[in-house]
Amino acid sequence: MPRTLVAITGASSGIGATFARKLAPEHDLLLVARRKDRLEQLAIELSGAHQTRVEILQADLTAEPDLAEVAERLRSDDRLALLVNNAGFGAAGRFWEAPIETQEAMHKLHVLATVRLTHAALGNMIPRDFGGIVNVASVAAFVRNAGSVSYCATKSWMTSFTEGLYLELRGLNSNVAVQALCPGFTYSEFHSVMGVQRDGLASPAFWLTPEEVVQASLEGLRSRKLFVIPGWRYRLLTMFLTKAPTALRLAVEAISSRSRAAALQLPSAGPRQLP
């Protein structure tokens, strides 16, 4: 029986690479990222450790030709069982001080690439009534932070988009699942790529490992859970932020923003993109 296919964007490190390692024993993999050398190393590791076929696609999903190539690949392979939209990046700095190219690239990657790839994958999955999509958002979807305006906004869009898809699929009684995965601070290259030190960003108790994040996501997929927020501290935090009166929420976010701004020193943000 042919093995099913899992496609993962932003697969060269962090959460994306951890999804690949976790799923390799049972699925073939399509790994997408900008850094070809990292993808090749991961492919060698996984194909050697497991009887799995690993295909790599070097792609910059903010570039139309690359995005179109990945979308067509998802649309045309009837083995596709899961798409993990994980590619993303952050930028530290006040919105108007960051280059507009950085802001536009973030919206292209978090929003437009998610739209295109999800549309392609669902066009493949829905006729077969089989498959799932994980959109890797963030706890930042539920907050507003100075220094991360576009990041919070685009991650909030991802959760809204995923919830809408969930409702449409439920209306069809479809077996296709969608999930908004909303991790908090996670040990990865995310902050180092931004040029930001982890120290001072959050208490050690709030840091998650990529393995914890991926395990929570996969458990959520099995139970067809729409929102997956790894870590009980983050679940309590988001519950408060979504239920609190607006004035109280804004006051808490203002305090958080000042603390975060001090930790980041709000440098002017350049286009530092995660793979």
Determine the 3-state secondary structure of 33 from DSSP.
strand
When pLDDT is averaged across residues 201-215 and rounded to a whole number, the result is 84
Other Cβ atoms closer than 10 A to 193: 17
Structure confidence at residue 87 (pLDDT): 98
Q: Is 62:107 a contact under the CB 8 Å cutoff?
A: no
Structure confidence at residue 270 (pLDDT): 42
When pLDDT is averaged across residues 22-30 and rounded to a whole number, the result is 98
User: Mind listing the pLDDT tens digit for each residue in 125-169?
Assistant: 999 999 999 999 999 999 887 788 999 999 999 999 999 999 999
Nearest Cα to Cα of residue 20 among 186, 230, 218, 221: 218
pLDDT above 70 covers a percentage of the chain that reads 82
Structure confidence at residue 144 (pLDDT): 83
| Residue 181 bridge partners (DSSP) | 136, 228
Higher pLDDT, 205 or 272: 205
Confidence of residue 189 (pLDDT cuts 50, 70, 90): low
Residue 151 designated active-site? yes
Give the mean pLDDT of the chain. 88
Structural domains in the chain, sorted by start: 5-264 (3.40.50.720)
User: Mind listing the pLDDT tens digit for each residue in 41-51?
Assistant: 999 999 999 98
Total-model pTM = 0.87
User: Mind listing the pLDDT tens digit for each residue in 238-273?
Assistant: 988 788 666 666 666 566 655 555 555 544 444 444
